[in-house]
Amino acid sequence: MSLDDLRKRIDEIDARIVELIGERVKVAEAIGQGKKEQNKLIEDRERELRVLKHVRAMARDKSISPSDMENIYRHVIDVCKKIQAVAVAFQGEPGAYTEEAAFRFFGKSTESRSYESLDEVFEAVEAGDVPFAVVPVENSLEGSITRAYDLLLDSPLMVCGEIELRISHCLIAGAGVGLDAIKKVYSHPQALAQCRSFLSHLDCELIPESDTAGSVKMIKEQGLRDSAAVASARAAEIYGMKIIAREIEDNPHNFTRFFILSKEDSPPTGNDKTSIVFSLKHKPGALYDCLKEFASSNINLSKLESRPTRYQPWEYNFYMDFAGHREEKDVSGALKALEEHAVFVKILGSYPKAR
C-alpha cells in the first residue's frame, strides 16, 4: 500500500472517530438533560473512574499506552460534560473562592449565579431557580462557617457532595498603587484572619466585608488609591487589578471545605460520608450513649461540633460527619439507635467523599 493510500486510510479512520465522538456527545447531552430533570449531579466521579479504567484496559489489549489513551479520553469526557453544564448558586461576586469551588466540582462550563448572601443562595435552590448551590462550611484554620450550618438546620435542602479547595490569598490593589500607600485593607473576616501575620506588619486598618472578590470590585469601582483587598489571583484578573503580594496566608495548609446542596442527596458510591445534626436530653452520659452506637458499628466519625440551638440559652445541637452512606445497613442501624437517645435527628445528606 502506497503512502498516499495509507494517508487516505488515516483520513477515513479520523472521520469515523469524529462521527463516534459526535454520537457520544449526543448521548451525553441526553444523560445531562435527564440529570437536570431529576436534579442530579452532572459530576459523577465514580462513573468517570470506571470509564477510564475500562479505557486503560482496552488500550492494553490493543498494545496502546494506557496513560496516553486515558489523556485522550479525559478530553473527550470534558467535552461531554461541557454540554451538560448546570446553573449553580454561590454567595459573593465573580472571582470568589466559592465560585472557583463550583467550577472545580461541576466543570468550567458551569453557569455560576452570584447572590449577595448565603440566605439568598439557599432560597434560590429551595425555590427551584437553580438546581444546585455551593456553600463554604469549614476552614482548616478558622473553623466552621456558622451561618451555613444554621441555615442547613432549618432548610429542606440536602448535602449531595463536597469539595475541598486550597486557599491562597493575594493582596490586591489598583495599578500603580504600592505597598507603602496602603492604609486600608478590605476582605471577608475569615480571609483577614487567615493573613494576620502579614497584615500585622502593615500600618493599615482592616475592614471586614461580606466577600473577598467583592472587596476587589469595590476598590476598582470607587477608584480607591489608599486601599487593597485580600482575595484570589483570579479576582485580580477578573477586575483588572494588580497583585501586590501573593500567598500572604499565615499557614500554607489553608483549605476550605464546601458543601454541594440540592433538593436530594446522592446515591451510594462505596466511598461516602454522611452529615447529621441532633440534640440530646440533659442527662449524664447522653452524648456517650449516642456515640457508642457508632463505635459499636465500627463507623468512623470525622467531625463532631456543638452549636447553640438559638431557642433556649445553653442548649446545643451537635453536628456530626461520619464515614458511610445512610442507606448502608450499618449506618442505617446506627441512625435508628441514635433516634432512641436523641431529642431529634436530622440527616443533612449522604454524599461522595471529596477527593
pLDDT in tens, 254-268: 999 999 999 999 989
**pLDDT surpasses 90 at 142:** no
What pLDDT band is residue 85 in, cutting at 50, 70 and 90? low
**For the chain, what percent of residues have pLDDT higher than 90?**
62
For residue 171, what are the CA distances in angstroms to 177, 207, 242, 244? Answer: 11, 14, 9, 5
118 and 143 share one domain = yes
CA atoms of 353 and 270, how far apart (whole Å): 10
Report the CATH number at residue 39: 1.20.59.10
The residue with cell 458551569 is: 110
270 and 353 share one domain = yes
307 and 336 share one domain = yes
**Whether residue 103 lies in the annotated active site:** no
**pLDDT surpasses 80 at 188:** yes
Report the CATH number at residue 239: 3.40.190.10
Provide the number of structural domains found in the chain.
4
**Whether residue 309 lies in the annotated active site:** no
273 and 330 share one domain = yes
Determine contact, residues 244/202, Cβ cutoff 8 Å. no
CB atoms within 10 A of CB 348: 23
Determine contact, residues 219/186, Cβ cutoff 8 Å. yes
Range of the domain at 47: 3-82
> How many degrees, rounded to 5, is the angle at CA 25 between CA 350 and CA 113?
55
Determine contact, residues 307/317, Cβ cutoff 8 Å. yes
289 and 234 share one domain = no
In the set 90, 106, 122, 258, the catalytic residue is: 258
121 and 178 share one domain = no
The residue with cell 477586575 is: 239
> How many degrees, rounded to 5, is the angle at CA 232 between CA 169 and CA 136?
90
Across the range 173-191, mean pLDDT stands at 93
**Minimum mean pLDDT among 13-17, 74-78, 97-101, 201-205: which range?**
74-78
State which of 232, 264, 296 marks the end of a domain.
Answer: 264
Residues 6+ away with beta carbon under 8 Å from 50: none
What pLDDT band is residue 304 in, cutting at 50, 70 and 90? very high
**Average pLDDT of every residue of the chain:** 90
Predicted pLDDT of residue 311: 78
**Minimum mean pLDDT among 69-83, 101-115, 146-160, 208-222: which range?**
69-83
Rg of the chain over all Cα atoms, to the nearest angstrom: 24
143 and 187 share one domain = no
The residue with cell 467535552 is: 79
What pLDDT band is residue 84 in, cutting at 50, 70 and 90? low
In the set 98, 212, 256, 274, the catalytic residue is: 256
State which of 82, 116, 131 marks the end of a domain.
Answer: 82
Across the range 119-131, mean pLDDT stands at 95
> How many degrees, rounded to 5, is the angle at CA 163 between CA 257 and CA 166?
65
CB atoms within 10 A of CB 5: 9
Highest mean pLDDT among 35-49, 58-72, 273-287, 322-336: 322-336
299 and 331 share one domain = yes
Report the CATH number at residue 331: 3.30.70.260
Predicted pLDDT of residue 37: 64
CB atoms within 10 A of CB 44: 18
116 and 260 share one domain = yes
CA atoms of 352 and 355, how far apart (whole Å): 9
Across the range 86-107, mean pLDDT stands at 92
**For the chain, what percent of residues have pLDDT higher than 70?**
95
**pLDDT surpasses 80 at 102:** yes
196 and 226 share one domain = yes
Residue 203, classified by CB atoms within 10 Å of its CB into exposed (0-12), middle (13-18) or buried (19+), is: exposed
113 and 259 share one domain = yes
135 and 236 share one domain = no
Predicted pLDDT of residue 82: 66
What pLDDT band is residue 185 in, cutting at 50, 70 and 90? very high
